[in-house]
Structure 1
Amino acid sequence: MSASFDFTDRVVLVTGTSGALGSAIATAFDDAGATVCGADIVAPDDEESLVDPDVVDYYQGDFTDEDDVARVLDEIVGTHGRLDHLCNVAGTWRGGTPIHETDVETFDFLFDVNLKTAFLASKHALPHLQATEGTIVSVSARSSLSGGEGDGPYRASKAGVRLLTETVAEENRGVVRANAIMPSVIDTPMNREMMPDADHDAWVDPATIARTVLVLSSEATAATSGAAVPVYGEA
């Protein structure tokens, strides 16, 4: 069974749009007819970017900086007149050391990139999403459900994303729907480079996860808010 979506006349903001998952989500919304606004520190024409420059209306910004976030949201709404959907994709992973050996710079970095970006984007997008009765989809992680060895700050930051999502959903019941997705290992070039001997066939393709984001942003899930949706397949 195939599914199709029509986001014509909808304006979407995807943070972390130059990365593997952000670019896949941006492409999926573009294919569904949306106006896709992409925000990232990395420009689409950068050699490290994975997004097609033709897919996004790009806004360069550091989403750990509230002034930058406010500026980008003002520019998007000023240009397009509205905002219907926010996808908090900006994030990263660091690990390898137990808590007692983890430096505070790593802790701060993970909470800034994974949690603070989602908080600031949601904070400044919500007034516009309330006006359009829109949606937020944020990227948490399967590992946020339990403790583990060597990546505690990452897990904690992603647990924060999940709890932030539940809070936004509760505070905006009946107006803005907010949900999180929980991937495990995503099949990206960086992950393949970091784990060359892993079973790559068990990893989930970013485009597959992007379809779940479209579902959660659509009327197909009109009764779903505050959920944490697994998107880890067999990984």
Structure 2
Amino acid sequence: MSAQELIGKHVVVTGGTGALGRAVVKRLLDAGLVCHVPSRRSVAAGADRLHTAFGVELADEVSVATFYAEVPDLWASVHLAGGFAMAPLEAIGRAEILSMMQLNTLTTFLCCRAAVEAMRKGGRGGRLVNVAARPALEPRKGAQMASYAASKAAVVALTQALAEELKADRILVNAIAPSTMDTPANRAAMPKSDPTKWLSVEAAAEAVLQLISPANMEISGAVLPLFARA
């Protein structure tokens, strides 16, 4: 991939303040892109090519549409924002399943829709990258993750449906499906596990970069498994 292909292109990264999000933003900035990060809370901008927007609610149609309308010449949109929950079936009620669907599926859908509108106005095509998860592809390995697995499986279906729908617009739509990632939160939650066997956030960020690159001219509808070694 030529470094010149990416320099100056504008990309949205939702969830850009989390562990994976920070790694993705750093990698994209290093590649020369201009990153736009929506947030519900104030975030220091830092780098010259990092723009943060305070008060964006990703589950609200108007908030999402307003944010995307202000991003110039949108090339790519990466949707990392989401949530995780574990509970046995008997402990999952209406509120719990709706929460997972809102955090993971609805936010991804609204951002995809707003990004596509912006890309169509530009007329140059673009790239969308969503984040699924291993339990979406292998739900039998997601013990006590029924609501989470279902919400991420919906992200997979959305990715593949949009990839077909947006062919004529030259907008490629793909997803990554990480297994357990090496983050401070996961280390705290699983202190007895070996984090060296987990997926690094830097590896996931590299995969995102490859998928949004103009050098990717054909791959669309793919859900890339990024599984830990154990």
Q: How does the TM-score come out when normalised to structure 1?
A: 0.89
Whether the aligned pair in 2 keeps the contact of 1:18 and 1:42 (CA below 8 Å) is no
Give the 5 Å matches for 1:1-235: 5-6=3-4, 7-45=6-44, 53-54=46-47, 56-60=50-54, 61-76=56-71, 80=72, 82-95=73-86, 97-130=87-120, 131-145=123-137, 146-147=139-140, 148-174=142-168, 175-235=170-230
Note the aligned Cα RMSD (angstroms): 1.6
Q: Identity of paired residues, percent?
A: 32
Secondary structure, aligned partner of 1:204: coil
Q: Which runs of 5+ in 2 are unaligned?
A: none
Could you say which structure has the greater relative contact order, defined with CA pairs below 8 angstroms and 6 or more residues apart? 2
CA deviations on 1:20-76 (whole Å, 9 max, x unpaired) are 11111111111111111011224324xxxxxx7336200121101111101111122
TM-score (norm 2): 0.91
Greater displacement, 138-147 / 182-191:
138-147
Verify the 8 A CA contact 2:83 2:104 in the aligned structure 1: yes
Distance 1:93 1:68 in 2: 23
Q: How many residue pairs were aligned?
A: 222
SS at match of 2:150: helix
Residue deviations 1:119-148 (CA, integer Å, cap 9, x gap): 000111102223221000000001102243
Distance (Å, rounded) in 2 between the aligned partners of 1:91 and 1:22: 11
Aligned-residue offset at 1:4 = 6.5
SS of residue in 2 equivalent to 1:164: helix
Instruction: Give the Cα–Cα distance (whole angstroms) in 2 for the partners of residues 137 and 38 of structure 1.
Output: 15
State how far apart, in whole Å, the 1-side matches of 2:90 and 2:41 are: 33
- 3-state secondary structure, aligned to 1:84: strand
